[in-house]
Amino acid sequence: MSHWIELNIGPVHPSTHGIYRFRVKLNEETVEDVDITIGYLHRNAEKICELNYFVNNTIYFDRMDYIDAMNMELGYLRAVEALTDMEVPERAQWIRMIMAELSRIAARMVGIGALGLDVGMLTPFFHTFHEREKIQRIFVEASGGRQEVNYMSIGGVYQDFNDKIIEEIREFISEFKGKLEEIVKMFTDSEIFWQRNVGTGILEPDIALDYGVTGPMLRASGIPYDVRKDSPYLFYDKVNFDVPIARTKDNMGRFLVKVEELRQSIRIIEQCLAKLPDGPYFNPKTKKSAMLLLKGQGDVFTRVESESGEFGVFIRGDGGVKPYRVHARSPSFKNLAVVPIMTRGSLIADLIITIASVDAVAGEVDR
């Protein structure tokens, strides 16, 4: 019996985590097919980047994943630095690492909180946002920006860490350790949360590889791929951390992997703080005022591990002061593409949780 109704989830549905639309064919409550429509947020970031000088483009990358802005700009700056052979002083690299991990924690807080919201728990959402707010205060202290921070710059960071910021980060980390366990307990102590997550949204590892899925989704399918480990950038090879995987391949596995990664991020930040050297925070050979004259030629492609997976940036320079082409390989775009396969035949309630556990950010999908 073909007795289906078509339900439009999005673009303004509360659970689409941004602006995209799922056209769902429903047989009663069972999902028969999902069609994802994107493009409601097209901001043309890649094209605009080609009109700007290299130094102007950081903000457009901030706005791609507005939740994990630090990792986004790090991705772009690494590509520019590779293109222009710019060296980054050691202190700046450690500072970047601390900021990238803080940003990862902040983004995870949104992801986990929103997952709770989609399961129907309002309470953890506020607790996770409370923690995110503390990180954002650190960002404000360091850069002046709260969400789109624009903190890192070509050849270093815009401002040095002062003692106050370091003290704030130490304080945050020591508080957050306990707080994280409390938040995780709010989820894992709930029998219903387990019931909703275990066995739903199953993603087989071979499908994940075919679709180019990365990040916690891939690791929850049992493949321990992490850019920080497999092709280390900054000083990720000088700190100890583990890459957690889950073999359950379901939403609960994804949640547990994300939580374990938060613990690893705390470990990384602690080691970074211990190893933070003195020295310049900006490439001393370059003047900030001369940034507009920066030139680059050739093709580069660099990768960083953002909150939702591998974030790659391709830049082609034609020797001029502006990039000829900028392209971002954004993780959310690839991760979202696999949702129809994960949810075909499941209940609509599972579809919502699967979307939440994919944790795609619309700015990154429609760049």
Bridging pattern class, strands 309-318 and 5-9: unpaired
Among 7, 41, 48, 59, binds another protein (CB under 8 A): 7
Alpha-carbon distance of 147 to 165, in angstroms, equals: 17
The 8-class DSSP code of residue 187 comes to H
The residue written with tokens 């457009």 in the block is 60
CB of 305 to another protein, least distance (A): 29
Closest CA to 38 of 67, 18, 52, 65: 18
Smallest distance from another protein to CB 346, Å: 10
What are the angstrom distances between the C-alpha of 34 and each of 9, 25, 318?
A: 10, 6, 42
Name residues contacting another protein, limited to 104-123 (CB under 8 A).
Answer: 116-123
Burial of 210: CB neighbours in 10 Å, binned 0-12, 13-18, 19+: exposed
Shortest distance, CB of residue 140 to another protein, whole angstroms? 20
Q: Which range binds another protein by CB under 8 A, 13-21, 40-48, 137-145, 216-224?
A: 13-21
6 is a site residue for another protein (CB under 8 A): yes
Does residue 198 touch another protein according to CB under 8 A? no
Minimum distance, C-beta of residue 182 to another protein, in the bound complex (Å): 11
Helix (H, G, I), strand (E, B) or coil at 215: coil
Residues 6+ apart with CB under 8 A from 149: 62, 69, 70, 73, 139, 142, 143
Residues 29 to 88 in contact with another protein, rule: CB under 8 A: 29
Using CB under 8 A as the binding rule, the residues of this chain from 237 to 296 that contact another protein are none
* Contact with another protein (CB under 8 A) among 2, 5, 85, 163: 5
Stretches 63-71, 249-257, 280-288, 348-356: which one binds another protein (CB under 8 A)? 348-356
Out of 130, 238, 247, 275, the only residue in the binding site for another protein (CB under 8 A) is 130
Cβ 214 to another protein, closest distance in Å? 26
Residue type, 297: Q
Among the candidate windows 7-15, 57-65, 165-173, 221-229, which touches another protein by CB under 8 A? 7-15
Segment contacting another protein by CB under 8 A, of 2-10, 149-157, 307-315, 323-331: 2-10
225 Cβ contact partners less than 8 Å away, ≥ 6 residues apart: 214, 218, 219, 243, 310
For residue 194, give every residue at least 6 positions away whose Cβ sits within 8 Å of its Cβ, in sequence order, or none.
Answer: 188, 252
Give me the least distance between CB of 197 and another protein, in Å please: 10
Under the binding rule (CB under 8 A), the answer on residue 307 touching another protein is no
Using rule CB under 8 A, residue 13 touches another protein: yes
Contact call for residue 329 and another protein (CB under 8 A)? no
At its nearest, how many Å lie between another protein and the CB of residue 221? Answer: 23
- State the minimum distance, in angstroms, from the CB of residue 115 to another protein: 10
- Compute the least distance from the CB of residue 196 to another protein, in Å: 6
Q: What is 84-152 written as a DSSP string?
A: HT----HHHHHHHHHHHHHHHHHHHHHHHHHHHHHHT--HHHHHHHHHHHHHHHHHHHHHS-SSS---E
Among 11, 23, 26, 327, binds another protein (CB under 8 A): 26
SS3 per-residue string spanning 227-282 = HHHHCCCCCHHHCCCCCCCCCCCCHHHHHHHHHHHHHHHHHHHHHHHHHCCCCCCE
Please report, as ranges, the residues that interact with another protein according to CB under 8 A: 5-8, 13-15, 26, 28-29, 116-123, 125-127, 130, 190, 192-193, 195-196, 347-350, 352
